[in-house]
Amino acid sequence: MPSIYKLHNSKKDSNIKKILSSIRRVVTFNIGTILFGALFVYMIFSMILYLTSSHFTSYQVLNGPLSRNETYTGLAIHEEQVVSADMGGYVNYYAREGTKINASGIVYGVSSQPLQTSDMQLEAEDLSKVRKQMSNFSYGFNPSNFNSTYSFKSELEGNILQYAGIPDTVTSSEDESTNTSAISFGSQTLSRAVEDGIILYSKDGYENVTADTIKEEHFDQNSYHKEDLKTRNQIQAGDDVYSIITDERWSLYIPLSTKQVAQLNDRTSIRVKFLKDNLTQSGSFSIVEIGDGKYGKIDFNNGLLRYASDRFLDIELVTNTQSGLKLPLSAIINKEFYLIPKDYQTKGGNTQEAGFLVEVDGSDSTEFVSATIYAETKDGEQYYVDKSSFKEGAVLIKPDSSERFVVQETGNLEGVYCINEGYARFRIISIIDQNDEYCIVEKGTAYGLSQYDHIVFDATDVNEEDILY
């Protein structure tokens, strides 16, 4: 009997295992099918939603001018002259290029042999000045302009010579033809500046060009050549040794197209941004004819020291002064509003919510209806109220009065669809200026736009209140 019972239990266990195995296969199959089916349904739903939804391009609202100011390359003309050496020899430079110097300042020295290093004793006060100069140069040093180191070295050597006691009186002959005073100092003959001015150690052939002699070919940068006058070689008497700009008044000439002439024709002054250092400066403006072309002439009374070594300057004329929120014209749409007298507006119950009293079914009773007021008319007598607030023909009751107003008159406002919240919401705009593609609008208007808002680029792609994402 026990053996039969044991056999029966063994068969029973085997059947149970088969059933459990089948259940596992079914369950596994069903879970995989369910997951795949859910994914398939989601993909079909997404495709249908994509095909039936509105397709649009968004645009981020940014602050700025309507268009960028135009850039030009200007030709700088100033009063200058090239100075020649009075004698031959080895030259050593003491004035820093691009700095002002007075007529008593030492520009360079000439010796019969290459100058040897010598010791000079300076007073404590003069030594303090030298240290201060070195500290200031170190503080403002820019590695990308390493050549300034050599100019500073020359300037420092010149100052040390002054501190060491270069006599103020001329100890040798004065050359009246160049008005240059030559001073004997040790083994050198030092030369003072011919007059007050800005020192340059280069020449380019434009030194004698004036407003009366300027020509179209002077604007050809491909043929422009600047010659460096600094040298470690021996020079001869009569060799050009430096240039000096003797007047801080200067002019900048820019070539103009016919369109630019029309745009600038009425201007007598203009603001200029120099792209070299992004500094701006105002100057007198006029249009002149040079050869067959027309050019803008900008006259400055100062500022030359920053650009003395530059014959051609890249500039930007600051003519677009109006700034606001920049929008594409394609984003603008007109929306219709009800026009309702301001006297009918009131506050609702215990709240400060704006709205109107509406007559109920021709009876004497009223109900308060809140309404979005977007703007007021130019005469200040009426409000632009969203049409969704009332049905056409609704009767409004004036507060504390028996006067009535029938809602029917309409007016239009310009605006765009803002999509910050995921659906198209109308926002009014006030256009300041526009061109063929864009406009700029006021900032900070009620129910208007703010910088970094997102709007629909083309307003015809969507409808108001459309859910976009």
pLDDT by residue, tens only, the chain of 469 residues? 445 444 455 555 566 666 656 555 554 556 767 777 788 888 887 777 666 666 778 999 998 887 778 899 999 999 999 999 989 999 888 887 888 988 888 888 898 887 655 555 666 776 777 777 778 777 777 776 665 675 566 566 656 655 555 544 333 344 444 444 567 777 788 888 989 999 999 999 999 999 999 999 999 999 999 888 888 788 999 999 999 999 999 999 999 999 999 989 999 999 999 998 889 999 999 999 999 999 999 999 999 999 998 999 999 998 877 788 999 999 999 999 999 999 999 887 666 788 898 988 767 788 888 888 899 898 889 999 999 888 888 999 998 888 999 999 999 999 999 999 888 999 999 998 888 889 999 988 888 899 999 999 999 888 888 877 7
Q: Residue 176: its pLDDT value, please?
A: 41
Neighbouring C-alpha atoms within 13 Å toward the C-beta of 48: 6
Query: For residue 466, what are its two tokens?
Result: 């459309």
Q: Residue 50: its pLDDT value, please?
A: 66
DSSP 8-state symbol, 393: T
Round to whole Å and give the CA distance between 79 and 245: 6
Q: Residue 408: its pLDDT value, please?
A: 92
Q: Residue 461: its pLDDT value, please?
A: 86
Q: Residue 400: its pLDDT value, please?
A: 86
Domain regions of the chain by residue span: 2-52, 71-317, 327-461
Give me the DSSP letters along 235-283: E-TT-EEEEEEEEEEEEEEEEE-HHHHHHHTT-SEEEEEETTTTEEEEE
Residue type at 246 in one-letter notation: T
Task: Please state the separation of Cα 275 from the chain's center in Å.
Answer: 11
Q: Residue 218: its pLDDT value, please?
A: 95
Q: Residue 42: its pLDDT value, please?
A: 84
Q: Residue 9: its pLDDT value, please?
A: 53
Give me the DSSP letters along 78-136: EEEEEEE-SS-EEEEE-SPTTSEE-TTSEEEEEESSPPPP------HHHHHHHHHHHHH
433 close to 319: Cβ distance less than 8 angstroms: no
386 burial via Cβ count (<10 Å: 0-12, 13-18, 19+): middle
Query: For residue 309, what are its two tokens?
Result: 């070594």
Q: Residue 173: its pLDDT value, please?
A: 40
For residue 417, how many other CB atoms are within 10 A of its CB?
28
419 close to 456: Cβ distance less than 8 angstroms: yes
Q: Give just the sign of the alpha carbon dihedral 324, 327, 332, 335.
A: negative
Round to whole Å and give the CA distance between 313 and 59: 36
For residue 274, how many other CB atoms are within 10 A of its CB?
19
Q: Residue 169: its pLDDT value, please?
A: 38
DSSP-based three-state secondary structure for 184: strand
DSSP-based three-state secondary structure for 153: helix
Task: Please state the separation of Cα 189 from the chain's center in Å.
Answer: 51
Q: What is the residue whose two structure tokens read 């010791």? A: 119
Burial 144-160 (b: 16+ CB within 10 A, else e): eeeebeebbebbbbbbb
Q: Residue 75: its pLDDT value, please?
A: 96
Q: Residue 20: its pLDDT value, please?
A: 58
DSSP-based three-state secondary structure for 37: helix
DSSP 8-state symbol, 217: G
Q: Residue 69: its pLDDT value, please?
A: 82
